[in-house]
Amino acid sequence: MVKVKDAEVPEGLYYSKDYEWVKIEGDKVRIGITDYAQKQLREIVYVELPAESDTITQNEPYGTVESVKAVSDLIAPLSGTIEQVNTEVQSSPETLNEDPYKKGWLLVIKPSNKDAELKKIMDHTKAVEWHQNL
């Protein structure tokens, strides 16, 4: 775990410039928002996510996160079919503030073009450098 300006940037994940993280889990990936994102949003009060079996497309909105400060689109870091939706964050949105990398995950997808799309987002080293310039 690396801390950059009070935001945690865990190793072993990929990161998008839309403040989402990607964890490879075999032929699937788990997606969530970064610690930096939840700190910027502050108190998260509502999360809207798509349904299981829906598809998401890299760099396209797939849901929203609402805080007392703003409503923000969730932008897909990878394309694929949704296999699992974290209903816990929908019923308890504060989970995103409390534990964005573990209990606060959003979706598990089966990516449609994983290798090519991972090259378009940041690995851990690039993400640390990017966070330092935020």
Average pLDDT, the chain: 97
- Whole-number Cα distances in Å, 107 to 42, 83, 129: 21, 8, 26
pTM, whole model, 2 decimals? 0.96
The sign of the CA dihedral 72, 77, 78, 82 is negative
Asked whether the predicted pLDDT for residue 107 surpasses 90, the reply is: yes
Residue 133 resides in a domain = no
Residue 93 resides in a domain = yes
Which pair of structure tokens corresponds to residue 108? 């598990």
Residue 119 resides in a domain = no
| Residue-range definition of the domain harbouring residue 38 | 2-114
Residue 55 resides in a domain = yes
Residue 60 resides in a domain = yes
Bigger pLDDT: 5 vs 57: 57
Instruction: Convert the pLDDT of each residue in 18-63 to its tens digit.
Output: 999 999 999 999 999 999 999 999 999 999 999 999 999 999 999 9
Instruction: Convert the pLDDT of each residue in 116-134 to its tens digit.
Output: 999 999 999 999 999 999 8
Asked whether the predicted pLDDT for residue 1 surpasses 90, the reply is: no
pLDDT band at 9 (very low <50, low <70, confident <90, very high): very high
Q: In 10 A of CB 119, how many CB atoms? A: 9
**pLDDT > 90: percent of the chain:** 96
Residue 129 resides in a domain = no
The mean pLDDT of 113-117, rounded to a whole number, is: 97
Residue 127 resides in a domain = no
Give the CATH number, domain containing residue 17.
2.40.50.100
Residue 125 resides in a domain = no
User: Total structural domains in the chain?
Assistant: 1
Distance in angstroms (rounded) separating the CA atoms of residues 1 and 64: 27
